[in-house]
Amino acid sequence: MRDTDEEEMEYEDNSTDLDVRDAVIKQVWDRNFDNDNNDSLLFGTPQSNIDLHTLHPDQVQIFRLWQIYLDNVNPLLKVTHTPTLQPRVIDGAANVANIDSSLEALMFSIYCVSILSLSDEECHTMFGTEKAIALASYQFACRHALQNCEFLRSGNRDCLTALFLYLISARPGTDPRSLSSMLAVAIRIAHRMGIHNEASNAKCASVEAEMRRRLWWSVVMFDNRVCEMFDYKTATLAPTWDCKLPLNINDSELRTEMKNPPVTLHDNLPTESIFIVLRSEVADFTRHSAFHLDFTNPSLKTIHLPKDTEHRRIREDSYDELIALESTIEKRYLTYCNPENPLHFMTIYSIRSALAKCQLLEHYYNQYSLSSSKQNPEEEDISYALIMLESDTKLMSVPLAKGYIWYTIFHFPLPAYIHILQGLRKQPMMAGAGHAWEVMSTNLQIRTNVKRENRPLFVFFARMVLQTWRAREALWMEQGTPIEQQTVPWMVEDIRNKVAQMRINFPHTDDNNSANEQPGTSMSIDDFLMPMDISGGQISFTAGSSWSYPDMPVQAAMQIDMNQLDWTTIDWNTFRGW
């Protein structure tokens, strides 16, 4: 038998040979394609007359933006290491004309996400300019800075981080299909750097290795959220890579002189990284779960899930594992979180909402895959949807989490609405029906009142809401209960008021123009109120929704013909953030 030391030496020699080979290949490509065509491939040819250093804010504003980033963005992403980056930012601010190109791109991307995290009023108060103008200005500079550091060819982590932060800042005004394409570029760059591969990360110093892991998980989870909005199957959240989970440690425990990973001393205590750690744990569970793989890539399910001839046993094991994960997270982490701490508050309710969403997907998976033994599954499982809505309401309304609204607004809990409404449609007087209407109304009202987005109209599911409420009214009529004596939920009143306003603003389309209109654009408001088929079909809210798993059980679906909505009356900006 060969000596272990000899095997390790041989492995190290082979590893060194591979590193040398990669370096040689990189030099060859750099020499063969040393031109500007590569850098202009995505963002166009940069303007040669622009001095990027003139686009930096003054020193006071740089430090203010940096502090905003540390307060509002960094706690949720953790893709930068404050102890090592802050001195570089200070040096860069002191001499913006001679900043390293990668650092400059990173600084501009930090300006971008810092502005994104502010409200219009905050931006105007702090910087004396409109948020949209400031954001557009820094995004323009960031694109040029990314080109200057050759981000498409670079293997520099700062470059990739800058691209990631830039894409986050561009999210509210970008079609998710376009954003997904750009994220695919970022993910391919990450693959080339090997940050998805734990063997590659293990070769790096402890700080670099940990930051690579954090960056990979943040990119993957952002990509998954974007893909949920239109094409779930293109997401990278799959069991095809082995990057380790981020460590539950503070940045101060990651020191550049370390050769070995730091020992985790906070198994039961929340650290600066608690949010990204728990998000990653839930995402890691999801990417290995049958309820996720069956929707995203069924072929992977047969490879990565344990085989069992007892179909039902696999389903029950998956459910039990989810319950165990929820219990572990609650007892090991959330119990020790202080709800008066903004990051802890954000973590508690974001993670509970994410786990409830997993429970909801598990419910639909079981309904789709098995003949459910439950008599009223909607009534029994509605608690998960209520947790999602109640958690979102807290995150959107409590001043403590104000700095994180930029993140929360991107996670509209549409799956919860759909689940509750389809349950109430079938059982208008189910136990807790009044409470469910109240919870939905409260959440929708708070979402509507967020001024950073245009006032949401939510025509996307308005007919579903109105028809579900009519079912409740019809039952009252059968029982002889006076409808006028019943309290109408806020969301129903709000939708009715909007429909009434639409009648005034958008009367019936003139017959002379109907021949020139596309299908689905000439429908009147009265047609909008016509009943829809609720007996079968699939949930197919894909453009701008957060509910795009299509293989839902027939009995649990609400089919809406999107061609029957009056698209001409909709301000599509209202759907940013779904």
Q: 175, 247, 171, 170: which is closest to 214 by C-alpha?
A: 247
Q: Answer whether residue 214 is part of any domain.
A: no
- Of all residues in the chain, the percent with pLDDT exceeding 70 is 72
Tens of pLDDT, residues 278-311: 999 999 999 998 888 888 888 787 766 554 444 4
Q: Answer whether residue 455 is part of any domain.
A: yes
Q: Answer whether residue 122 is part of any domain.
A: no
- The Cα 336–Cα 346 span in angstroms is 14
Q: 68, 85, 100, 99: which is closest to 169 by C-alpha?
A: 68
Per the model's pLDDT, the better-predicted residue between 220 and 229 turns out to be: 220
Q: What residues contact residue 300 under an 8 Å CB cut-off, 6+ apart?
A: 238, 239, 240, 293
Summarize the confidence of residues 4-13 as an average pLDDT.
Answer: 47
Question: Is the pLDDT reported for residue 442 higher than 60?
Answer: yes
Summarize the confidence of residues 39-55 as an average pLDDT.
Answer: 75
Q: Answer whether residue 416 is part of any domain.
A: yes
For the chain, count helices (H), then strands (E): 24, 0
**What amino acid occupies position 107?**
M
Check the CA dihedral 323-326-330-331 and report its sign. positive
DSSP 423-439: HHHH-TT-TTHHHHHHH
DSSP 131-199: HHHHHHHHHHHHHHHHHHTTTTT---HHHHHHHHHHHHHHGGGS-HHHHHHHHHHHHHHHHHHTTT-HH
Q: Answer whether residue 164 is part of any domain.
A: no
Tens of pLDDT, residues 19-30: 655 665 555 545
Question: Is the pLDDT reported for residue 269 higher than 80?
Answer: yes
- The Cα 162–Cα 77 span in angstroms is 13
Q: Answer whether residue 408 is part of any domain.
A: yes
pLDDT score, position 332? 93
Threshold 0.85, pTM exceeds: no
pLDDT band at 500 (very low <50, low <70, confident <90, very high): confident
Summarize the confidence of residues 204-216 as an average pLDDT.
Answer: 97
Summarize the confidence of residues 4-20 as an average pLDDT.
Answer: 51
pLDDT score, position 268? 74
Q: Of the given ranges (26-40, 146-160, 279-293, 544-558), which has the lowest mean pLDDT?
A: 544-558
Count the helix, strand and coil residues of the chain and give each as a percent rounded to the nearest 5.
Answer: 65, 0, 35
Tens of pLDDT, residues 134-154: 999 999 999 999 999 999 999
Q: Answer whether residue 329 is part of any domain.
A: no
pLDDT score, position 391? 98
Per the model's pLDDT, the better-predicted residue between 84 and 233 turns out to be: 84
pLDDT score, position 550? 41
Query: For the range 84-87, what are the long-range contacts, defined as Cβ-Cβ under 8 Å and sequence gap of 24 or more?
Result: 84/207, 84/256
pLDDT score, position 445? 92
pLDDT score, position 277? 97
Per the model's pLDDT, the better-predicted residue between 403 and 531 turns out to be: 403
- The Cα 339–Cα 519 span in angstroms is 51
Summarize the confidence of residues 420-433 as an average pLDDT.
Answer: 92
- Of all residues in the chain, the percent with pLDDT exceeding 90 is 56
- The Cα 299–Cα 293 span in angstroms is 8
- The Cα 272–Cα 290 span in angstroms is 32
Quickly count: other Cβ atoms within 10 Å of residue 492's Cβ.
20
pLDDT score, position 420? 94
DSSP 265-294: --TTS--TTHHHHHHHHHHHHHHT-HHHHH
Structural domain total, the chain: 1
pLDDT score, position 544? 37
pLDDT score, position 367? 75
Measured in whole angstroms, how far is the alpha carbon of residue 544 from the centre of its chain?
12
Which domain range does residue 484 map to?
A: 380-504
Q: Answer whether residue 477 is part of any domain.
A: yes
pLDDT band at 414 (very low <50, low <70, confident <90, very high): confident
Question: Is the pLDDT reported for residue 454 higher than 70?
Answer: no
Summarize the confidence of residues 420-442 as an average pLDDT.
Answer: 94
Q: Decide: 44 and 147 in contact? Cβ < 8 Å.
A: no
pLDDT score, position 423? 92
Query: What's the chain's average pLDDT?
Result: 80
pLDDT score, position 107? 99
Summarize the confidence of residues 321-333 as an average pLDDT.
Answer: 94
pLDDT band at 543 (very low <50, low <70, confident <90, very high): very low
Instruction: Identify the DSSP state of 477.
Output: H
Q: Decide: 237 and 221 in contact? Cβ < 8 Å.
A: yes
Q: Of the given ranges (32-36, 39-43, 418-422, 470-474), which has the lowest mean pLDDT?
A: 32-36
Tens of pLDDT, residues 375-388: 455 565 799 999 99
Per the model's pLDDT, the better-predicted residue between 386 and 565 turns out to be: 386
Q: How long, in residues, is the chain?
A: 578
